[in-house]
Chain A
Amino acid sequence: MTTEALALIVFVPLLVAAGMVVLPRSWLGLLIRIGLLPLPFLLLIPTMEVVDNGAYRVVLAGHDSPLGIVWLLDPLSLLMLWLNVGITLLVSLHASFSFPPSDQPARRFWPLWLILFASMNALVLSADLFNIYVTLELVTLAAIGLIAVEGKPAALRAAMRYLLLALMASLLYLLGVGLIYGQTGVLDLYLIAEHLEPAWLTITALALMIVGLLIKSAIFPLHAWLPAAHGNAPGPVSAILSAMVVKVSVYIIWRLWFWTAGDWDLDSAATLMGILGGLAIVYGSVAALVQQRLKMIIAYSTVAQLGYLMLLFPLASTLAFQAASYHLVSHGMAKAAMFLAAANILRSVGSDRLSRLAGIDQRLPLDVFALALAGVSIMGLPPSGGFLAKWLFLEAAREQEAWGWLVLVAASGLLAAAYLFRVLAVMCLHPRRRLRSDRRRRAPNLASVAAILLAVGAIVAGFASAPVLDLVAAGLPPGLAP
């Protein structure tokens, strides 16, 4: 039952995507619904399975690894699945307005969208290194396609650079996989550990894979592709890129680090990872502060926020795991909300240059509201999911008396406040604030509602944390479980 449900979760969107290419255009709307709407209900079945019995291993098509497809459904991957499904659904709500099935680009957009969705689901479930490689490639390619889907020059350039760097990253990763396979003959993420000794070759492999993934998750200073790509992509694409796509790569690094290499002594390397994270936070925030375009600000904000996820490595404890996962959840919702709101604003004004956004709150109050609410979570101010994540991080740091990380996490909210309040001040309070006459299309209200829903979700996450945190606590890597 669970196996079938999981398979459906991955393959239904894929099949629908194929159907979209084949079937006439008038079917598009229906197909979108078929591809997306049943998924939350399907997801209930594995959820119950995990809640009742814990981790669940799926072997598809009867072949165990290394040849077949092996999935592992544990609490963490379940969380990722829910997050992906939830955010994708809400963003799709927005996308159904920005890419209405009747329009021309919709035929290119929606298949890619569903492929991206399906491959991310497959990625978080994948339990062997090669499968991960394949799904990761799929994710990247679909994302690149989506960035360029409208065919704007800037977006094309950004997609191109993304493509180049992603290819390089894939190569690094693949090299690592090859080395490990050569060493052990095993690809299963959770079995390698038994065969793997920290020899120089395996270490090289690990370093290659991790850096490859770091490029894909745009961790400073390997973030070069992200701002342009996220800043120029269509709204829903930016949202899903920032909320999910970069996160799944980090998720894989976690898997490698804590499961595959779980019993190694990684302290000094972990510090390096933490420092990269810290640099990302500082650099991303400062860069966001000096941007002139709204979407670029949000994109750099993503660069900064990804840094928090790296803090898990040096802190490495139950609390830190909960913190990082919760940050993943709340940032996902908040950032998606911000990009959607920004997309609505861009659509309405025709530009997202800050200098042109003065007084926008009168025209698009809902979107500005969503932006502000999501901003609260990004800044880590209570009450919001961002705050709880920050709180857990702080608690984790204090528990280990890691004062440096503690101060970094506590103070970094100020940086976020600096760039976000700059945006809000311009939007709501500019001295030249007047209603402009160049009223263009006004984004349909439901598009704003999607943004609002996500933003409210980020806030509500500040109150209803128990299910998520319990889930994470149940799915700790073996080394960390109490």
Chain B
Amino acid sequence: MMDLLLFWTPLLLVVVSALTGIVIFIAGERKARLRIILNLLAAVLKVLMVVLIGLLVLAGHTPEFRISLVPGLDLVLRADALSLLFATLSAVLWLVTTVYAIAYLERSPNRARFFGFFSLCVAATMGISLAGNLLTFFIFYELLTLTTWPLVVHTGTATAIRSGRTYLRYTLSGGVLFLIGLIWLYGITGPQDFIAGGTLAEHDLDHRLSLQIIFVLLAVGMGVKAAIYPLHRWLPEAMVAPAPVSALLHAVAVVKAGAFGLVRLVEDVYGPELVAGLGMDLPLLLAAAFTILYGSVQALRQVDLKKRLAFSTVSQVSYIVLGIAVGGPLATIGGIVHLVHQGLMKIILFFCAGIFGNLLGIKYIHQLDGVGRRMPWASACFTVGALGMIGLPPVAGFVSKWYLGAGAVAVGREWVVAVLVTSTVLNASYFLPVLKRIWLNPPPDQWPDEVQVSRIEIQALVGSAMVAALLALGVGLLAGHPLSPLSWATAIVTEYFP
């Protein structure tokens, strides 16, 4: 019985969303109520299952599902601490986003298609989080590309289609490089599961150059999704998607998949020591550092709210990469925990941008004047997210920044602190003026495009933003608690740096 449970639960976690998606497709556009119930049910179920798996892992088991694709090549879904961290984040945020999306798309067309792919997208994300080896990761990684494309282009405007094309160009090309690297790596080592600390050290002597090239190939393949400069172009363009998609895209799904992959690559495939030994940590670090600053400067230049948020994501996701590239336990904790923190904070911001855009027709930053009086709760949530992004306590962003900075200093890379501090100042300079507009400027006589919606819709929209905001505050405030993401990340990292 226990064996069965351990074998099937990881697969079920993936399949539950996939099935939801398929059923939604089959049910069709008309059956709105069924769709809503199904969506919520699946989302709740998924959270419960993640909890179940979490309990299993805590009890010392390792749930693992394994089938052979080609003799010798296994598809492995396994729950370890790191995957559980990401899975929990995805499951929780999916639940929140589902509520939000249902309300957000209340009257728009093509909802069946939207929610179908939405569910499939989450299934892919779950697969990524549970992937037990690089091949499995790759499979779900590509699946994610496929399932998010319909979401990115959902509105069907010319801009959306163009953005979708850019998105595909970047991600599929990244996938090709990933695939080449993967094949090459498997050629050298044979199929290997993810193992904390990596498995490649023994091949260092014979295949040094190959390993370096493979690292670059894989890192670029994942870097595309993680939007590392100069592979970030698709992300700001993907902003044309509906707000829940942007939220999910930026918080957990696509961008995070890339960052999560880089964590896996550095920690579980190569191992931090080997990465440093191959001299690959510094290029990665430099790329991340540059992206952080570049994203911030670009964000400063945007006048479109969602674009500003998008460039902010470009910058913030590189914090994760920065953390693992710096090396050393503290910075790695910072990087991994930022996976969660950035997700929570970014999702608030996009939720709020969506609320402002959908209900008041606000697109540009200068239109935000006085929104705080019109929509105090949403604005408050936005404020929490923005302050967190700047890295101000007690929102979660501060905790990540602390660990990143301290970790960099601990391994003797003081200059990283300068990057972090500069980025803080830049973040402040593109978020604080927005906050000032929201709260302190007088509201206009008329909003750009105000629509009347039902009370329950607003409650669902603002409510999900508030839940996310509370979570972001909570994980920051309670960072020292044994069940917080920080403690979790610490536990993960102690495996890498015993």
Note whether A and B contact each other (Cβ less than 8 A): yes
Chain A residues engaging chain B, CB cutoff 8 angstroms = 361-362, 365, 369, 376, 381-383, 387-388, 390-392, 394-395, 398-399, 406-407, 410-411, 413-414, 417, 421, 425, 428-431, 433, 462-463, 465-466, 469-470
Any A CB within 8 A of the CB of B78? no
- When the two chains form their complex, are residues B156 and A395 in contact, meaning their CB atoms are under 8 A apart? no
Bound complex: CA A92 to CA B105 (Å): 42
Interchain nearest-CB distance for B191 vs A (Å): 11
Chain A residues near B168: list those with CB within 8 A: 417, 421
User: When the two chains form the complex, which single residue of B113, B142, B154 contacts A381, counting CB atoms closer than 8 Å?
Assistant: B142
Q: Answer whether A406 and B25 are a contact pair too, CB < 8 Å, given A411-B176, A429-B153.
A: no
Which B residues from 157 to 213 make CB contacts under 8 A with A?
A: 157-158, 160-161, 164-165, 168, 172-173, 175-176, 179-180, 183-184, 186-187
- When the two chains form their complex, are residues A395 and B186 in contact, meaning their CB atoms are under 8 A apart? yes
Chain B residues near A421: list those with CB within 8 A: 149, 164-165, 168
The 5 A-B pairs of least Cβ separation, nearest first, read A382-B139, A429-B156, A394-B183, A398-B187, A381-B142
Interchain nearest-CB distance for A392 vs B (Å): 7
Q: How extensive is the interface on chain B, given as a class? A: 35 or more
- When the two chains form their complex, are residues B173 and A414 in contact, meaning their CB atoms are under 8 A apart? yes
User: When the two chains form the complex, which single residue of B29, B68, B143, B158 contacts A466, counting CB atoms closer than 8 Å?
Assistant: B68
Q: Answer whether A463 and B25 are a contact pair too, CB < 8 Å, given A429-B153, A429-B161.
A: no
Bound complex: CA A269 to CA B115 (Å): 53
Chain A residues near B113: list those with CB within 8 A: 361, 428
Q: Answer whether A465 and B70 are a contact pair too, CB < 8 Å, given A394-B180, A417-B168, A425-B161.
A: yes
Chain A residues near B75: list those with CB within 8 A: 383, 463
Q: Which of B69, B153, B186 counts the most A-chain CB atoms under 10 A from its CB?
A: B69
- When the two chains form their complex, are residues A391 and B183 in contact, meaning their CB atoms are under 8 A apart? yes
Which B residues from 56 to 72 make CB contacts under 8 A with A?
A: 67-71
- When the two chains form their complex, are residues B25 and A365 in contact, meaning their CB atoms are under 8 A apart? yes
User: When the two chains form the complex, which single residue of B69, B143, B179 contacts A388, counting CB atoms closer than 8 Å?
Assistant: B69
Any A CB within 8 A of the CB of B150? yes
Any A CB within 8 A of the CB of B403? no
Interchain nearest-CB distance for A179 vs B (Å): 41
Bound complex: CA A408 to CA B334 (Å): 40
Q: Which of A387, A391, A392, A431 counts the most B-chain CB atoms under 10 A from its CB?
A: A391
Chain B residues near A365: list those with CB within 8 A: 25, 28
Bound complex: CA A364 to CA B69 (Å): 32
- When the two chains form their complex, are residues A388 and B142 in contact, meaning their CB atoms are under 8 A apart? no
Chain A residues near B175: list those with CB within 8 A: 381
Any A CB within 8 A of the CB of B138? yes
Any A CB within 8 A of the CB of B276? no
Chain A residues near B138: list those with CB within 8 A: 382
Any A CB within 8 A of the CB of B409? no
Chain A residues near B164: list those with CB within 8 A: 421, 425, 429
User: When the two chains form the complex, which single residue of B28, B69, B145, B150 contacts A463, counting CB atoms closer than 8 Å?
Assistant: B69
Interchain nearest-CB distance for A111 vs B (Å): 38
Bound complex: CA A388 to CA B71 (Å): 11
Chain A residues near B71: list those with CB within 8 A: 466, 469-470
Q: Answer whether A431 and B157 are a contact pair too, CB < 8 Å, given A392-B70, A398-B187.
A: yes
Any A CB within 8 A of the CB of B146? yes
User: When the two chains form the complex, which single residue of A381, A411, A433 contacts B156, counting CB atoms closer than 8 Å?
Assistant: A433
Nearest B residue to A381 via CB reads: B142
Chain B residues near A466: list those with CB within 8 A: 68, 70-71
Chain A residues near B186: list those with CB within 8 A: 395
Chain B residues near A399: list those with CB within 8 A: 187
Chain B residues near A407: list those with CB within 8 A: 180
Chain B residues near A383: list those with CB within 8 A: 69, 75, 139, 143
Bound complex: CA A465 to CA B279 (Å): 39
Q: Contacts A399-B187, A462-B69, A463-B69 given; 18 further ones with Cβ under 8 A?
A: A362-B29, A369-B25, A381-B143, A383-B69, A383-B75, A388-B70, A391-B179, A394-B180, A410-B183, A413-B172, A413-B176, A417-B168, A425-B161, A425-B164, A428-B113, A430-B156, A469-B70, A470-B71
Bound complex: CA A466 to CA B67 (Å): 11
Nearest A residue to B68 via CB reads: A466
Bound complex: CA A470 to CA B71 (Å): 9
Chain B residues near A429: list those with CB within 8 A: 153-154, 156, 160-161, 164
Interchain nearest-CB distance for A164 vs B (Å): 40
Which B residues from 375 to 426 make CB contacts under 8 A with A?
A: none
Bound complex: CA A413 to CA B180 (Å): 12
Bound complex: CA A391 to CA B160 (Å): 32
Chain A residues near B150: list those with CB within 8 A: 428
Chain B residues near A465: list those with CB within 8 A: 69-70
Interchain nearest-CB distance for A391 vs B (Å): 7
Chain B residues near A391: list those with CB within 8 A: 70, 73, 179, 183
Q: List 12 interface pairs A-B (beta carbons < 8 Å), by A numbering.
A: A381-B145, A381-B146, A383-B75, A388-B69, A395-B187, A398-B183, A398-B187, A410-B183, A413-B176, A417-B168, A431-B158, A469-B70
Nearest A residue to B183 via CB reads: A394
Nearest B residue to A398 via CB reads: B187
Chain B residues near A394: list those with CB within 8 A: 179-180, 183
Chain B residues near A362: list those with CB within 8 A: 29
Nearest B residue to A369 via CB reads: B25
- When the two chains form their complex, are residues A414 and B172 in contact, meaning their CB atoms are under 8 A apart? yes
User: When the two chains form the complex, which single residue of B153, B173, B180 contacts A406, counting CB atoms closer than 8 Å?
Assistant: B180
Bound complex: CA A429 to CA B139 (Å): 26
Bound complex: CA A417 to CA B70 (Å): 24
Q: Which of B73, B138, B146, B179 counts the most A-chain CB atoms under 10 A from its CB?
A: B179
Chain A residues near B73: list those with CB within 8 A: 391
- When the two chains form their complex, are residues A406 and B165 in contact, meaning their CB atoms are under 8 A apart? no
Interchain nearest-CB distance for A261 vs B (Å): 29
Bound complex: CA A407 to CA B186 (Å): 16
Interchain nearest-CB distance for A456 vs B (Å): 11
- When the two chains form their complex, are residues B187 and A463 in contact, meaning their CB atoms are under 8 A apart? no
Which B residues from 345 to 377 make CB contacts under 8 A with A?
A: none
Bound complex: CA A136 to CA B109 (Å): 52
Chain A residues near B139: list those with CB within 8 A: 382-383, 387
Bound complex: CA A468 to CA B263 (Å): 36
Interchain nearest-CB distance for A281 vs B (Å): 14
Bound complex: CA A417 to CA B164 (Å): 12
Which B residues from 65 to 89 make CB contacts under 8 A with A?
A: 67-71, 73, 75
